[in-house]
Amino acid sequence: MPTIRQTVRRSGRLTALARGVRDAIRGAPAAGSTSAPQSATAAVAARDGLDGVAELHRVGPKRDAAAAAGPRLNLLVPTLSPARAFGGTRTALDLFEALAPRFPRLRIVAFQPIPDAALASLEGYVRANPGDEGAPDRVAVAVPRGPGAEPQLAVGPGDVFLATFWTTAELATRLVRWQAATFGGEPRPHAYLIQDFEPGFYPWSAQSELARATYTGDVPPIAVINSGLLADYLAGQGIALDDPLTFEPRIDARLRPFLAEPARERVRRIVVYGRPETPRNAFPVLVDGLRSWVAGGGGGGWEVVSAGRSHPPVELGRGLRMRSVGKLEIEAYGSLLRESALGVSLMVSPHPSYPPLDMAHLGLRVVTNAFGPKDLSSWHENIVSAAAMTAGAIADAIARQSAAFEADPAAGGRARPLRPDYVADGPIFLFADTLAERLGAGL
Amino acid sequence: MPTIRQTVRRSGRLTALARGVRDAIRGAPAAGSTSAPQSATAAVAARDGLDGVAELHRVGPKRDAAAAAGPRLNLLVPTLSPARAFGGTRTALDLFEALAPRFPRLRIVAFQPIPDAALASLEGYVRANPGDEGAPDRVAVAVPRGPGAEPQLAVGPGDVFLATFWTTAELATRLVRWQAATFGGEPRPHAYLIQDFEPGFYPWSAQSELARATYTGDVPPIAVINSGLLADYLAGQGIALDDPLTFEPRIDARLRPFLAEPARERVRRIVVYGRPETPRNAFPVLVDGLRSWVAGGGGGGWEVVSAGRSHPPVELGRGLRMRSVGKLEIEAYGSLLRESALGVSLMVSPHPSYPPLDMAHLGLRVVTNAFGPKDLSSWHENIVSAAAMTAGAIADAIARQSAAFEADPAAGGRARPLRPDYVADGPIFLFADTLAERLGAGL
C-alpha cells in the first residue's frame, strides 16, 4: 500500500495540489493569501448570528451498517481547495500521511466542495457521498453546507478521527459520543492537530468560547501541537491537555536550496510580511512603525517591499513608498529574500510562524514581535524582537537592524541559528506510531 | 463651586444627556445599543490598516503657555454623544464628577464632535478648541479626526488625565511623557478607568496588543477597575498593576423602585439579552441553545422576547419564535422583567455585566455564563451559570430554570442576593480622595 507521500510523488497534479495547499496554509508569500479565518470571515459570522453559530459543521452521524474491515482514519479538514484552504491543512496532510500506513481504510472529509482538479490529483481516492455506507478504502467526501436538511455522515464502529481546525474538533467530539452511544463502549479518542490558539482568531464571542471548549471538552482530544511554544502557551492558560504530542515547524523544503547558495550581494531593501486582511499579522502597527522609523530619520536609500497579500502602495513619508508584490512563487520569494537586507514580520500569536524564521535562515536581519512565551531572538542570531507592539518600539528595532546592516552588510549571512529544529531533516512526526496506537490503529 | 452632579440636577437637559449616555454605555436594553467597539467597527478597522492603526487618537500636544491656576483634570472620552457613546462613559462621568471638586479647572476632551444638545446641557461648560491656551475653567473640546493636519491639544504643567477607553489611555501615556519632557520632572501619573478586558474586543491583532500595552506601558497608570472580578482576571493574566483601585457595579437607580414593588404575577416568558452585533454577548450560541432547548422538549407554553438591540424574529423550532423588542425605555424594561419568569444573558468577559444582575434582583431566574474567575451563581440565588458555552449546556440550564419556575412560580421573587454590592446605596468611589491626591490635586 503506497503512502500518501509516495502517491503524491507519482502524480504531478497531486504534487501541485499539495504544494498549493501547503503554501496556502503556510501563509508563505508564495501563495499565502488564504489562512483562515480572515477578519472578514470572523466578523461576518459574528454579525450574522441570527441562525446560530455559522462556523459549526451541522452534520448528523448515520450508522454505517456495512461490514468494516479494520479501522478507518478520517481526516476532517475545512477545505481541500488550495485557493480557500484553512490554516493548518498543509501540516494536516503531512500528519495524515504519516499515520495512513497504519490504517487499512482512509477517508478525507472536507466541508467545502472538492474541486474536480483536487479530486483528480488525489490518486487512488474516489469521490463518495458523506452518507455512503461501505465506501471504498480511499474516499474523499465533501459535506454540503447551507440551507436544507442536515447532511449525514456514515460512521461505523471502526472510524477514528483526526481533527484540524476547532470547528472539526467540535464535530469530532459529537461524532465519537454518538459512536459510543450507538456501537457501545467509551467514546474513542480523536486526534486534534492544534496549530494556533484559535480562540484568538475572534473577538471574545460565542466563537472564541466554542473554540476554547474544544481543548478541554467532555471528550478530551489527543492533542498534537505545532510547536512547543504553543504548547507552553496553552499550559500557561490553564488548559490541561492529556499527554500532548508536540513537533516543531520546519522550513519549506523548496527553500532549502537557497540555504546552500553562495552569498549574494544584498540591497538596502526591507521585505515586509504584509497581509492587511489578517489581524494577527498586525499590519496597521507595522505601517505606523515604518512611518515612525522614516519620521525619525530612517529610510534614506532604502526600499520597502511587502510580500504576502496584494494591497495598494502605502506612503511611509519623505517620498518612501512601500509597494506590494502580493503572493510570490516560492522561488521568487527565496530569491527576494537572498538579495534583501532586512525582514519585518509580525504575528500576534505564541506560534513562532514561518516567515521570520525563513528570513533569518536566508540571511536577512529580522524584526518580529514577542508574544507570551515566544521570543524568536533566542532562535536565530538574525532576529530581534521589538520591545513592544508599538510603532515606536518597532521603529527602534528597524533602526537597530538597519544600522547593523550598514555597518556590516555580510553579517546577516554569517549569523547562526540558535536552535537546529527549523532546518532539521528527517521525519517530523516522531510520535506517529504512538499516535496511531492511541487512535486504535491496532483494533 | 457646584459639583457636576449638582450641575446635572439643575439642568433637565443635562439630566437627559447623562441618562442617555449612561444607558448607552451601560448596554441596558433601555438604550443599550451602542457599547463599543462593535464587531463591525473592529473588523472594519482591522481590514482598513493601510493607513496605520485607525483607532489611535492622532493628537499632538502643544505647550499651553498661559499662566495656570492650579491643576486641571482632563476627562478623555471617545465621545460625548449619547447615540454613539462608548462603553464606560457612564461610569467615567460619575468618576469625573467624584473627582471634580478637588480640581479648580476641568476639561472634557472628546474625540467625536460634541452635538449642540450635549454642549448646551453641560451647564457651566463652554465649547473651546483643543489647542486653545488659557481656556476657561470649564471647557469641553472635541478633537477632530480624519485626514488633514494632526490636531493639537494644549497641555500645561498642571494638566492631569483620566483615561477611559484603551485608545484614550494610549494618548494619555504620550501626553504625560511629552509634558515631562517639556516642563521637567517625571511623567505625572494618569488615572485609567478599566471596565472590561478591552484586548478581548478584538481578534488577536495590532489593536489587541496596543490595548494590552496600555495596562503596563512604560508610564504605568493608576488603574481604577470596575469590579473585583475584572481585577482578578487582570492579575491572573500576569498584568501587574500598581496598587489598583476597584469598585463594584451598581443597579441603575431608576430600577430601584421596581425592587420595592409588591410581587406581580409572572408569565412563562424568557427575556433574552439580545445584541447580535456585539460579539461578547454571544448571540449565535444563545440562539443555538434556545433551539436545543426546544428540540429537547422545552418551550411549550412559553414565549421568548429579546431585548437589547432590534433584530429580525428568530424561529426556535416547533412554532416558537423569539421576537425582538429592541431597546426599551428603562421603565418598560423594569416592567417587562417584573412580569417575566426567566432571563438569559451571556457575556464573554470576566466583568459581571449588568443585565443578569438586574434580572436576578428583579426576581427572574437567570441563565448566564461563567468566564475565568466569574461565576455569578455566587452573587444571587436566582442565577445559574451554564456548565459550558455550548448549545447543550445552555439548553440544560434553561430547562433547569424553567422547571424550577413551573414548580414554584413565586420562588424567584423570594430568592436572595448573596452579595450586597449591587443594590448598595451610598458613594461608590470610596477612594475618590485618595485618587485625587495620587493625581496631584494638591499641587
Contact flag A201-B200 (C-beta cutoff 8 Å): no
Distance from CA of B371 to the nearest CA of A (A): 9
Contact flag A52-B389 (C-beta cutoff 8 Å): no
Q: Which of residues 206-235 of B touch A (CB under 8 A)?
A: 206-210, 213, 217
Nearest CB to A284; choose among B40, B54, B280: B54
Buried b (16+ CB within 10 A) or exposed e, B346-365: bbbbbbbbbbbbbbbbbbbb
Is the pLDDT at A74 greater than 70? The verdict is yes
Whole-number Å distance between alpha carbons of B35 and B37: 6
Which residue has cell 434582583?
B361
Contact flag A291-B52 (C-beta cutoff 8 Å): yes
The confidence score (pLDDT) of residue A5 equals 45
Nearest CB to A279; choose among B46, B210, B217: B46
Is the pLDDT at B332 greater than 70? The verdict is yes
Tell me which long-range contacts B381-387 makes (C-beta under 8 A, separation of at least 24): B381/B415, B381/B416, B381/B417, B381/B418, B382/B412, B382/B415, B383/B356, B386/B289
Contact flag B39-A50 (C-beta cutoff 8 Å): no
How far is residue B117 from each of residues A353, B20, B83, B127, measured CA to CA in Å?
A: 51, 12, 12, 12
Higher pLDDT, A398 or B22: A398
Q: Which residues are CB-neighbours of B379 under 8 A, at least 6 positions away? A: B352, B357, B360, B417, B418, B419, B422
The confidence score (pLDDT) of residue A8 equals 38
Q: Which one-letter DSSP state was computed for residue B380?
A: B
Nearest CB to B287; choose among A42, A51, A287: A51
Whole-number percent of chain A with pLDDT over 70: 86
Nearest CB to B203; choose among A217, A279, A312: A279
The confidence score (pLDDT) of residue A82 equals 63
**Residue A301: Cβ-neighbour burial (10 angstroms; 0-12, 13-18, 19+):** exposed
Is the pLDDT at B42 greater than 70? The verdict is no
Element spanning A385, H or E: strand A383-386
Mean pLDDT of chain A: 87
**Average pLDDT estimate for A76-104:** 79
Whole-number Å distance between alpha carbons of A180 and A177: 5
Mean pLDDT of chain B: 87
Whole-number Å distance between alpha carbons of A427 and A434: 14
Is the pLDDT at B22 greater than 50? The verdict is no
The confidence score (pLDDT) of residue A32 equals 27
Contact flag A312-B348 (C-beta cutoff 8 Å): no
How far is residue A253 from each of residues A272, A424, A425, B60, measured CA to CA in Å?
A: 22, 10, 9, 49
**Looking at chain B, which residue has its C-alpha nearest residue A371?**
B209
Residues B372-393: tens digit of each pLDDT = 999 999 999 999 999 999 999 9
Distance from CA of B402 to the nearest CA of A (A): 22
Touching check for A203 and chain B: CB below 8 Å?
A: yes
Contact flag B348-A206 (C-beta cutoff 8 Å): yes
**Looking at chain A, which residue has its C-alpha nearest residue B54?**
A284
**Average pLDDT estimate for B164-187:** 95
Residues of B in contact with A314 (CB under 8 A): 50-51
Q: Which of A219, A293, A348, A353 to mutate to test the interface with B (most CBs of B within 10 A)?
A: A348
pLDDT band with cut points at 50, 70 and 90 for residue B442 = low
Touching check for B257 and chain A: CB below 8 Å?
A: no
Residues of A in contact with B206 (CB under 8 A): 279, 282-286, 346, 348, 389
Residues of B in contact with A391 (CB under 8 A): 52-53
Among A8-12, B48-52, B356-360, top mean pLDDT goes to B356-360
Count of beta carbons in the 10 Å neighbourhood of residue A128: 16
Touching check for B368 and chain A: CB below 8 Å?
A: no
The confidence score (pLDDT) of residue A131 equals 95
Q: Cα B247 vs. chain centroid, distance in angstroms?
A: 13
**Looking at chain B, which residue has its C-alpha nearest residue A279?**
B205
Is the pLDDT at B330 greater than 50? The verdict is yes
Q: Which of A178, A209, A322 to mutate to test the interface with B (most CBs of B within 10 A)?
A: A209
**Looking at chain A, which residue has its C-alpha nearest residue B290?**
A52
Q: Which of B197, B204, B210, B309 to mutate to test the interface with A (most CBs of A within 10 A)?
A: B204
pLDDT band with cut points at 50, 70 and 90 for residue A111 = very high
Contact flag A50-B202 (C-beta cutoff 8 Å): no
Residues of B in contact with A56 (CB under 8 A): 288
Lowest mean pLDDT among A244-258, A348-362, A410-424, B56-70: B56-70
Is the pLDDT at A87 greater than 70? The verdict is no
Contact flag B388-A213 (C-beta cutoff 8 Å): yes
**Residue B315: Cβ-neighbour burial (10 angstroms; 0-12, 13-18, 19+):** middle
Residues of A in contact with B388 (CB under 8 A): 213, 217
User: Phi and psi (nearest 5°) for B60?
Assistant: -100, 130
**Looking at chain B, which residue has its C-alpha nearest residue A53?**
B284
Q: Which one, of B310, B318, B301, lies nearest residue B283 by Cα? A: B310
**Average pLDDT estimate for B87-111:** 88
Touching check for B201 and chain A: CB below 8 Å?
A: yes
Segments in A263-367 forming alpha helices (H) = 283-295, 330-338, 354-361
Distance from CA of A276 to the nearest CA of B (A): 6
Question: DSSP string covering B312-376, please?
Answer: --EEEETTEEEEEEES--HHHHHHHHHTEEEEE---SSSS--HHHHHHHHTT-EEEEE-BTTB-G
Is the pLDDT at A99 greater than 80? The verdict is yes
Touching check for A276 and chain B: CB below 8 Å?
A: yes
Is the pLDDT at A180 greater than 60? The verdict is yes
Residues of B in contact with A393 (CB under 8 A): none
Is the pLDDT at A17 greater than 90? The verdict is no
Segments in A88-227 forming alpha helices (H) = 89-99, 116-121, 166-183, 206-213
Beta bridge partners of B154: B62
Element spanning A274, H or E: strand A267-274
Touching check for B49 and chain A: CB below 8 Å?
A: yes
Q: Which one-letter DSSP state was computed for residue A200?
A: G
Distance from CA of B362 to the nearest CA of A (A): 27
Residues B260-272: tens digit of each pLDDT = 999 889 999 999 9
Is the pLDDT at B6 greater than 90? The verdict is no
Touching check for B349 and chain A: CB below 8 Å?
A: yes
**Average pLDDT estimate for A286-315:** 97
Q: How many CB pairs under 8 A join A and B?
A: 170
Residues B287-317: tens digit of each pLDDT = 999 999 999 999 999 999 999 999 999 999 9
Q: What is the pTM of this model?
A: 0.89
The confidence score (pLDDT) of residue A75 equals 96
ipTM of the prediction: 0.89
Distance from CA of B216 to the nearest CA of A (A): 11
Contact flag B284-A348 (C-beta cutoff 8 Å): no
Touching check for A51 and chain B: CB below 8 Å?
A: yes
Touching check for B40 and chain A: CB below 8 Å?
A: yes
Distance from CA of A220 to the nearest CA of B (A): 14
Structure-block grid coordinates of residue A304: 520597502
